[in-house]
Amino acid sequence: MREETGSGPNASQRTTLDIILQSSAVELFHANGLAAAPLAACRVGGLQRYHEHVALLNFAGPGFMGVLTLSIPDAVCAVRTGNTSAAGETAGIFDWMAELSNQLFGRVMNRLAVFQLSLKPQLPSGMSGPVLDRLRKRTPSELLYRFRSVRGDILVTLDAPLDDITLAYSGSADVAHSGDVILF
């Protein structure tokens, strides 16, 4: 049985976070030529979290740490790359997925900026899904976002104590947009 994320004292806030993540993911997948439709978000529990390849991105928020993962099935990766059997192709898949997780997190972070929630990402990394599944314990706060595609479900997990945060809409945020040049 799945526990939907939209129940409890912070249901509207959780729904807001779910919509932000799901719309950001669909937008990103579309920009990369992947047609995917979001399914209802749920607690991970005993459900599958990762496919063979996964990208992991740790991040920090005000008083908490979190993890976002992105896992795309081999059949979807094969369409994108043409072949996943060679070692060089596997490294390319890890790089591509790490970059996608970084872009996904950036989109989510920019959308949360108008709610006065500042998140700081670390560098993403790609790795084997089965290995990560053995290394990372499942937690009650871990959420699963599934996106249906023709060749299999794309999986995104978010593990952070976001039920304890407060979103305060400000109406404006100074964030970079796609294509903006950022000088350091």
Q: Is the pLDDT confidence value at 103 over 90?
A: yes
Domain of residue 145 covers 11-160
User: For the residues 102-119, what does the mean pLDDT come to?
Assistant: 92
75 found inside a domain: yes
For residue 42, the domain's CATH number is 3.40.1550.10
The pTM assigned to this predicted structure is: 0.84
Q: Residue 25 corresponds to which amino acid?
A: A
CB 127 within 8 A of CB 54: yes
166 found inside a domain: no
1 found inside a domain: no
6 found inside a domain: no
CB 50 within 8 A of CB 132: yes
125 found inside a domain: yes
178 found inside a domain: no
Q: Pairing mode, if any, of strands 142-149 and 120-121?
A: unpaired
Q: Which pLDDT band holds residue 165 (cuts at 50, 70, 90)? A: confident
Q: What is the pLDDT of residues 29-70, one digit of tens each?
A: 999 989 999 999 999 999 999 998 999 999 999 989 999 999
Residue 60 pairs with which residues in a beta bridge?
Answer: 65, 120
Distance CA 74, CA 66 (A): 26
Per cent of the chain over pLDDT 90 is 59
User: What values do phi and psi take at 137, rounded to 5?
Assistant: -70, 150
Q: Which pLDDT band holds residue 25 (cuts at 50, 70, 90)? A: very high
Per cent of the chain over pLDDT 70 is 82
